[in-house]
Chain A
């Protein structure tokens, strides 16, 4: 069940007013989207290529959630850039959808993973950006007493999108189940490498949550899929299943 409180219900109404017209819930459709990352499948395949290539590693996130699809040139895509580049309304919208997803769907994490997280982390940028990551700033507002597990980005020699725990450093931690937040998932290399680094540091379970599953509209299969994304965003749908919870 999605969480309810007067504040959460007000927040949901606000998200529906300001974001539902252009945000689109991630969907898990057999034969159409990847069962792991909700990305669009090549016709005839049952997994997307990056997820298939990483499959079997014990260091991957155990559960993954996504809030919305986004793409270059679209309004959802714009919001994903503008919230960290001095936009005005984007920051509040990302705060709203991420806050709602974490807090209202907190018990959904426990249902899938067998317990609530006892730590949270965010995937730091690998491109050398400085300063507090806006996603961390947002998450700090609603993570309550759950402690942050710092992840440090390293110099990357083999391409930022490859799956490699060495892209990040995590100090040994007592957290056993970490909620790992990211803003956009393109191939999943960032989030999965960060998950791997957490597990190398002793974390047993990782629940990943990315705000936007990025799509490439230049690809015809994706374009067809995007044309069918006509249903308005509903924050009450589960980020981990795409269904009512």
Chain B
């Protein structure tokens, strides 16, 4: 592609973003233009000032309202500090424009497009890359479980996904083999909406067997990744991804899982986030952690699809009911 057409496309996309840009409610500082602020964030994440990690940077950006406000907290290192920062910013601007050209959306934690529910969790990543169609404040439920699922487990995942679609609820999963794949596939086949939160960069396919499915989700649903676009799969990525799934949805359903499954991690995280968890009786009967988790707040056990839909129906009603209760109390 010639440089001028890249510039043209970049300008057009930028103008569209700037048109949509709204100022953050109660932001700590005046927000800069979206693109420059995003470049500041990317530079900050490569600089890691003060030895901060990504989650700490995400928290600081949320607290101070912008990446530039966080950057301003740190004096430039040494004589060439500002030059170094400027060259990092320059690099970040170049990356931002190439990501835009590649059709990737980049949402920083303080962008309006970043899912608000994910902001509420302690592991909220500083940014999300997205491909596909974003739906504002959608009602979604995670359907997760083992990669090495049994026939019965796969059948249940499909049935649960099918039930959620018929309730007009988005199915979230992690695009892993087994339960996740069955949940995504069923949602798409039934004409429902599905969101995949992946444990690699958004340009990677893992497992490779899910290449077609991943592309289809990017076309028909939404694909999200909290890593740099070309990041390879790494073991510690997957629990981080599970945290985002817990954050994105209204609840987590664990369909089938072993003692050490990643689904167990998501179930525990969801409890810690104050989010409801639904365990199938298959999980409760076959794992110690499933039995132990039943004592925690808002953990439900389901032995049929009807059980699951009954709990989900109640969860969907909760915010409205809470609003009504809050309006009834006063001194």
Chain A positions within 8 Å of B, measured between CB atoms, are 5, 7-8, 10-11, 14, 16-22, 72-75, 77-79, 81-82, 84-90, 92-93, 95-96, 99-100, 102-103, 106, 116, 127, 129-131, 133-134, 141-144, 146, 232
How many whole Å from B315's CB to the nearest CB in chain A?
10
| A99 lies within 8 A of B326 (CB) | yes
Tell me, in angstroms, the Cα distance from A103 to B330 when the chains sit together: 6
Decide if B62 touches A82 in the complex (CB within 8 Å): yes
> CA A20 – CA B273 in complex, angstroms?
10
> Could you list some 15 contacts between A and B, CB below 8 A?
A17-B276, A18-B297, A72-B59, A73-B122, A78-B59, A85-B24, A85-B110, A87-B117, A88-B119, A88-B137, A92-B319, A92-B326, A129-B28, A133-B26, A143-B330
Are A143 and B319 within 8 A (Cβ)?
Answer: no
A-B contacts, CB under 8 A, total: 129
In the complex, the answer to whether B274 meets A19 with C-beta atoms within 8 Å is yes
3 tightest A-B CB contacts, nearest first: A88-B116, A144-B330, A7-B328
Query: Is the Cβ of B331 less than 8 Å from the Cβ of A146?
Result: yes
Closest chain A residue to B24, Cβ basis: A86
The secondary-structure label for the interface of chain B is loop
Indicate whether B306 reaches chain A with its CB closer than 8 angstroms. Answer: no
8 A Cβ contacts from B60-115 to A: 62-63, 65, 110, 112, 115
A residues near B321, Cβ cutoff 8 Å: 10
What is the CA–CA distance of A82 and B25 in the complex, to the nearest angstrom? Answer: 12
- Supposing A75-B122, A81-B59 touch, asked if A103 and B331 sit within 8 A by C-beta, the answer is yes
- A21 contacts B55, CB within 8 Å? no
Please indicate the chain A residues that have their CB under 8 angstroms from the CB of B273 in the complex: 21-22, 75
Question: Taking the nearest CB of chain A, how far is it from the CB of B99, in angstroms?
Answer: 23
A21 to B293, CA, bound (A): 12
CA–CA, A61 and B273, complex, Å:
33
Tell me whether B120 and A14 are in contact (CB under 8 A): no
A22 to B123, CA, bound (A): 14
* CA–CA, A88 and B137, complex, Å: 9
Contact between A142 and B59 (Cβ–Cβ < 8 Å)? Answer: no
Closest chain-A Cβ to B28's Cβ sits at a distance in Å of: 6
Q: Which residue of the partner chain, among B124, B319, B326, contacts A11 with CB atoms under 8 Å? A: B326
Residues from chain B with Cβ under 8 Å of A72 in the complex: 56, 59
Task: Tell me if A82 and B26 are in contact (CB < 8 A).
Answer: no
Chain A residues whose C-beta falls within 8 Å of the C-beta of B325 in the assembled complex: 7, 10-11, 14
B295 to chain A minimum Cβ distance, whole angstroms, is 10
Complex Cα–Cα for A20 and B27 (A): 28
Specify which chain B residues have a CB less than 8 angstroms from the CB of A81 in the assembled complex: 59, 62-63
A73 / chain B contacts, CB cutoff of 8 Å: 55-56, 59, 122
- In the complex the two chains form, what is the Cα distance from A100 to B296 in whole Å? 22
B112: chain A residues at CB < 8 Å are: 86
Which of B266-291 touch A at CB < 8 Å?
271-276
Q: Within the complex, which residue of A5, A78, A129, A141 is in contact with B26, where a contact is CB–CB below 8 Å? A: A129
Report the minimal beta-carbon distance from A106 to chain B, rounded to whole angstroms: 5
**Cβ contacts under 8 Å, A82 to chain B:** 62, 119-120
Q: Select one of A19, A87, A100, A116 contacting B116, CB under 8 A.
A: A87
Contacts of A17 in B (CB 8 A): 274, 276, 297-298
